[in-house]
């Protein structure tokens, strides 16, 4: 059985499009939520990859939220075991912290909430072949740790994607987003849409119609690359894992 370990941070969280693609490829998803007391596996040999998703808490909350401290220590063990790791939003910020970088708010207290443009760096063109608009929901961003390669950049928060060694990646944005998740997030956290930098709710759905197919095409290619640790070819990543 091929398994992907997924770490979420709220009881109602789900892996969205990321989970859908991996299940389509035949992977079983083993979902854990340490925020509600579920333990993280210490034996990692059963997993072909580990994905840590976002959440409303901060990667800097390790002094007040014990599970954040536990996750930071656990991510260090994942890196030592060389298990493929993918961090999304909070998961990327925790990876950055483990590697020695800071996670900080925008200097003008701006948020990125909604769709924003993303641009590949020169080293990132193997993973991002073109600029695209991606879905964001965060108030903090990560600095780039020593030994990491910046793969993609943005405007308000310059560091948007990075790679550490061969198989650890951090993405500031949310490629797992679906229309249902947008509806859930913008309904349950409507107060966040009033903050500086956030886009109005109707714009989230309008831009999702414009950009979601491009992001899905990219996501399929990227997940194939991440799991196989090599450049993707269209027949391989579009049909099977």
- pLDDT tens profile 46-78: 999 999 999 999 999 999 999 999 999 999 999
- pLDDT tens profile 79-115: 999 999 999 999 999 999 999 999 999 999 999 999 9
**Where do the structural domains in the chain lie, given as residue ranges?**
3-239
- pLDDT value of residue 239: 43
Cβ of 184: how many Cβ atoms within 10 Å? 15
- Fold classified for 3-239: Rossmann fold (3.40.50)
CA dist 150 and 67 (Å) reads 28
Are the beta carbons of 50 and 79 closer than 8 angstroms?
Answer: no
For 183, phi then psi, to 5°, come to -60, -45
CA dist 233 and 8 (Å) reads 30
Distance separating the N- and C-terminal Cα atoms of the chain: 13
């Amino acid at each position: 059985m091929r398994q992907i370990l997924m770490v979420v941070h709220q009881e109602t969280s789900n892996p969205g499009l990321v989970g859908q693609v991996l299940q389509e490829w035949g992977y079983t998803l083993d979902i854990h939520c340490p925020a509600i007391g579920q333990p993280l596996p210490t034996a990692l040999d059963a997993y072909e990859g580990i994905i840590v998703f976002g959440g409303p808490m901060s990667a800097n909350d390790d002094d007040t939220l014990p599970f954040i401290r536990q996750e930071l220590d656990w991510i260090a063990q994942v890196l030592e075991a060389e298990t493929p790791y993918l961090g999304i939003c909070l998961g990327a910020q925790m990876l950055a912290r483990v590697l020695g970088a800071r996670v900080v708010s925008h200097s003008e207290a701006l948020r990125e909430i909604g769709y924003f443009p993303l641009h590949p760096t020169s080293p990132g063109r193997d993973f991002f072949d073109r600029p695209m608009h991606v879905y964001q929901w965060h108030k903090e961003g990560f600095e780039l740790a020593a030994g990491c390669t910046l793969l993609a950049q943005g405007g308000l928060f310059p560091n948007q994607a990075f790679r550490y060694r061969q198989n650890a990646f951090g993405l500031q944005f949310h490629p797992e987003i679906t229309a249902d998740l947008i509806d859930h997030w913008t309904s349950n956290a409507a107060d966040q849409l009033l903050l500086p930098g956030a886009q109005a709710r109707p714009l989230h759905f309008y831009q999702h119609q414009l950009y979601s197919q491009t992001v899905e095409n990219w996501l399929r290619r990227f997940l194939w690359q991440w799991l196989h640790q090599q450049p993707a070819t269209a027949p391989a990543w579009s049909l099977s894992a």
